[in-house]
Amino acid sequence: MEIVRTVEALRGWSRAIRMQDETVGLVPTMGALHAGHASLMRAAAEQCGHVAVTIFVNPTQFGPQEDFDRYPRTFEADCMLAEREGARVVFAPPVEEMYPAGAATFVDVEGLSGRLDGASRPGHFRGVATVVAKLLIAAEADRAYFGQKDAAQVAVLRRMVRDLRIGTELVVCPIVREADGLALSSRNVYLSTDERRQALALSRAVKRVEAMAAGGERRAALLTEAARQTLASEPAVRVDYAELVEWATLEPVEIATAGTLFAVAAWVGATRLIDNAVMG
Ligand code: AMP
């Protein structure tokens, strides 16, 4: 497995593969890789001839008070995991490679970028859309793999790819969870033992909404109220949002139908976690 640091090298690698009529799969990550990331790599390796994993902690998607500096960085272990999961290339550019001095171009998906995480993290989705646009332009991949874990991000990126007519197909993979239900996240390492236990309120809330909806309760107000009750049962948990929305637009719905997204974000102590499910 090769580690490349420049856009030019990544693009050259991808073009050489595609010239031979083989396919390239791209898995964008911020590193601190876990089984959730591994599942994206496995899907990419199954569906594409060659897989590139990107590891880039993108400064523009972090707010000034957020955890950019202390975000976990485990590059060597990440490379081992990527290699094990079949990646041919790890693209790990320095910040100046993705944001050359004086970079003034950003991608803003209007409307969607202000919803859910975008409402409580101003500028977050602008940073995400910008860096993913750069990665897709750099890699010229056939497919790029993202987790449903970040469901609002998926909505923003789907719209961006459609609006900008980017030729990469987005593939969305299911949420990978710990045995007890907690969605895997690079930020779970921030949790104390007690917070780790209380963090289960998020997946419990998601499960409760799924079960109520499956049982026929479709009123969003009642479903979200039940989720909030579950979240409120843990003292260290503070809800950011708990909403039923149309996945494509992130607009709230009054009645949940098949395909409606239930998404939740909550602070557990000082750590912000997210979880979601798509209603059946
Ligand atoms: P991150 O490194 O947190 O930016 O995540 C990189 C990609 O991995 C994103 O597309 C995430 O949605 C995805 N991802 C993160 N956690 C999980 C998980 N628990 N299950 C599936 N995909 C995940």
- The answer to the question of residue 68 being in a domain is yes
- The answer to the question of residue 82 being in a domain is yes
Q: Cβ-count burial of 259 within 10 angstroms (0-12 exposed, 13-18 middle, 19+ buried)?
A: exposed
Whether 38 and 150 map to the same domain: the answer is yes
Give the model's confidence band at 130: pLDDT under 50 very low, under 70 low, under 90 confident, else very high.
very high
Of ligand 1's listed atoms, the one at least distance from the Cα of 33 is: 2
Whether 213 and 89 map to the same domain: the answer is no
Protein residue whose Cα sits closest to atom 22 of ligand 1: 147
Whether 147 and 190 map to the same domain: the answer is no
- The answer to the question of residue 181 being in a domain is no
Going edge to edge, which strands form the sheet with 24-29? 2-4, 89-91, 50-55, 24-29, 143-147, 169-173
What is the tens place of the pLDDT at every residue in 52-70?
A: 999 999 999 999 999 999 9
What CATH number is given to the structural domain containing 28? 3.40.50.620
- The answer to the question of residue 280 being in a domain is no
Whether 195 and 165 map to the same domain: the answer is no
Pocket mutation for ligand 1, best pick of 27, 37, 171 (most atoms within 8 Å of C-beta): 37
Domain count, the chain: 2
Whether 169 and 250 map to the same domain: the answer is no
Pocket mutation for ligand 1, best pick of 40, 75, 132, 143 (most atoms within 8 Å of C-beta): 40
Give φ, ψ of 218 to 5 degrees: -115, 0
The CB of 124 under 6 Å from ligand 1? The reply is: no
Whether 17 and 124 map to the same domain: the answer is yes
Dist. CA 180–CA 103, nearest whole Å: 44
Give the model's confidence band at 223: pLDDT under 50 very low, under 70 low, under 90 confident, else very high.
very high
Whether 136 and 234 map to the same domain: the answer is no
Helix ranges (H only) for 110-216 are: 117-120, 124-139, 151-163, 193-198, 200-214
Of ligand 1's listed atoms, the one at least distance from the Cα of 37 is: 8
Whether 212 and 129 map to the same domain: the answer is no
What is the tens place of the pLDDT at every residue in 174-190?
A: 999 999 999 999 999 99
Give φ, ψ of 257 to 5 degrees: -125, 175
Average confidence (pLDDT) over 179-204 = 98
- The answer to the question of residue 179 being in a domain is no
Supply 201's token pair. 């309120």
**Residue 196 CB neighbour total at 10 angstroms:** 17
pLDDT of 257: 98
* Torsion on CA atoms 219, 260, 114, 183, rounded to nearest 10: 100
pLDDT of 164: 98
What CATH number is given to the structural domain containing 202? 3.30.1300.10
Residues catalogued as catalytic:
37
Whether 128 and 265 map to the same domain: the answer is no
Supply 145's token pair. 């793999």
Going from the Cα of 199 to the center of ligand 1, the distance in angstroms, rounded, reads 17
Q: What percent of the chain has pLDDT over 90?
A: 100
Domain that holds residue 268: 186-275
pLDDT of 157: 99
